[in-house]
Amino acid sequence: MSKQNDDNKKFRENKTLRALAQFSQIGFTLAASIFVGVLLGKLLDDLLGTTPWLLFIFSLLGVGAALKSVFNISR
């Protein structure tokens, strides 16, 4: 009986850790996608002198990429 309880406890802990890993992956993906979009937009704005248009466009593209990644992760 003790062996079965230990196995069940390990399974629950493993399941919890997997869920936490997936949630942290979603958060990191959201932040990284938006950050890359903002950084790229800022860099291109500085190079081309189009402030703030490319920053705005790439920020929106970063948000779109983040949402697409979240939907792909959730599958």
**Residue ranges per structural domain of the chain:** 2-74
**How many Cβ atoms from other residues are within 10 Å of residue 2's Cβ?**
6
> pLDDT by residue (tens digit) across 17-55?
888 888 899 999 999 999 999 999 999 999 999 989 999
pLDDT at 63: 96
pTM: 0.77
Smallest CA-to-CA distance from 53 within 66, 44, 62, 64 is with 44
Round to whole Å and give the CA distance between 19 and 39: 30
